[in-house]
Amino acid sequence: MKFTKMHGIGNSYIYINCFEEEVFNPSKMSEFVSDPHFGIGSDGLVLIMPSETADFKMRIFNADGSEAEMCGNATRCVGKYVYDNGLTKKTDITLETNSGIKDLELDVIDGEVVSVTVGMGKAELEPQKIPVSIDGDRVIGYPISVMDKEYEITAVSMGNPHAVIFMDDIDSLELEKVGPLFENHELFPERINTEFIKVIDEDTLQMRVWERGSGETWACGTGACAAVVAAVLNGYCKHDREITVKLRGGNLKITYLQDGTVIKKGPATFICEGEVEVPPIAR
């Protein structure tokens, strides 16, 4: 099977062109390609497919084989792939995802896409729709106990569920210990992506992220969007201003508009391409 490996500021996935290839068991295939020792090594698998409602369709699978609703970094890489490989000549395209259709604006230099601006849709704050098992209209600064320590979460859905936590120090955080405990906490019936945020100033956030099904990753596009939404809701940042979110793999530019819409801009980078033997378990 032919594959392409790409990353959005360190959030890397294996991309399969399903106009030419057929993936029979994407869940098992994702587990295989994500393994750095026996596979290729990635945060998961992305299928680029035909769509009946948009220009293209994306399905994304985490490293543990579970299917995700949405990935902001992957949407940008899909935009780069379809343009750079001649599947489209348009620089404004639509992409069908499991959380709705996203609008992509491709920034092209010398015939190649270097960055992509994605209309991420409106942030969902209603707990039942995130979902979070907490009563009320919104979850802002809600106390939660993990490892005998109290944290305050702000819950946001960007098509997938996020719990955002503001802290003074995230560099020394033992994320490999606390991350799984948040992910599988009883308050989150479909598990949760957790962002740990340090506020640098009203225009800059620093972020580490534990992604549901993948562990700590170097970047999470929907997580960066959720972080900016939460920062506005908690009074750290303002609506209609472009906020820089500094992740381990690089920076994203996020704007949370007054009407609830979120805009994300960031790079998309080609790593390599090749062929991989499909294991019997994925055939």
Contact (CB, 8 A) for 72 and 84: no
- Catalytic site residue from 18, 71, 77, 237: 71
- Catalytic site residue from 18, 220, 225, 237: 220
Return the DSSP state at 280: G
Contact (CB, 8 A) for 29 and 104: no
Q: What are phi and psi of 138, to 5 degrees?
A: -145, 160
Could you tell me which of 268, 215, 281 has the C-alpha nearest to residue 46?
Answer: 268
User: Using DSSP, how many helices (H) and how many strands (E) does the chain show?
Assistant: 4, 18
Determine the straight-line distance between the first and last CA of the chain, rounded to whole angstroms: 11
Could you tell me which of 256, 267, 272, 216 has the C-alpha nearest to residue 72?
Answer: 267
- Give catalytic status of residue 220 as yes or no: yes
Exposure on the CB side of residue 147, measured as CA atoms within 13 A: 10
- DSSP string covering 244-264: EEEETTEEEEEEE-TTSEEEE
- Give catalytic status of residue 18 as yes or no: no
**What's the rounded Cα separation, in Å, for the pair 67 and 81?**
21
Residue in this structure with the two tokens 């259709």, named with its chain if needed: 101
**What's the rounded Cα separation, in Å, for the pair 105 and 283?**
36
Q: Any idea which residues carry the catalytic annotation? A: 71, 220
